[in-house]
Amino acid sequence: MGRRRRKAASQHTASRRQGVLSDEEASFEQSTLPQIQDLYLEYAEMCIQYGYLVMFAPVFPVCFLIAALNNVIEIRGDLMKILYLGRRPVPRAAKDIGVWYFFLRLFTITGCFTNAGIITIGVNTWKLQAGVFNVESPGDDLSVDANPALIPFDYLAELDAHVVFLASVILLLGAHLGHELLVPSVPKWVES
């Protein structure tokens, strides 16, 4: 048995020097590589990235382009890792992505509220910067008690802030619900 294995290994080394491997030789070479780690960290990384994108998109809109570039690099890196650095994982049938779907939905719904809050704070900040709140000259008393315009949600605009927040939440949750109802979870070409 040992002699046969050594002979196969020497043939494998010779064919590798030539740069051409048969399917059996490629399988033998890959069987000597270490097992690829579980996909838990891969899913966790994607969920964290999705959470940041969904919850803080209005703060840094360019993050989608950065995430797309990161995903392209990540796909190429994972491809190299699976093809050359480790043994391919054994495929297992699964009904869905499991608990990760719950977390993705949770991030989406939480993102509706955080985006609405960011929009609400942003609207009042834009009003303050545009001079809508009539901030006087810098030499005046700038305490909060003397000048309520320095509070992002001033006393007169508090109702406006709540209306903007509720309207934003309703709009975003409605868009999310409409997407869930109109777009099928399983494409038609997969069902057939």
DSSP states along 65-87: HHHHHHHHHHHHHHHHIIIIISB
CA distances from 155 to 135, 144, 159 (A): 14, 11, 8
DSSP states along 20-39: ---HHHHHHHHHTSPBPPPT
The pTM is what? 0.64
Of 78, 96, 163, the closest CA to residue 124 belongs to 163
Of 47, 183, 39, 31, the closest CA to residue 102 belongs to 47
CA distances from 51 to 10, 45, 54, 66, 122 (A): 51, 10, 5, 14, 20
CA-CA distance, 171 to 116, in Å (whole number)? 9
Averages of pLDDT over each 10 residues, the chain, 192 residues: 54 54 76 78 91 89 93 91 79 85 93 88 66 52 50 56 85 92 86 78
CA distances from 151 to 21, 118, 140 (A): 71, 16, 16
| Res 68: pLDDT | 95
| Res 153: pLDDT | 46
CA distances from 65 to 13, 50, 71, 147 (A): 44, 13, 10, 41
Q: Helix (H, G, I), strand (E, B), or coil: what is residue 106?
A: helix
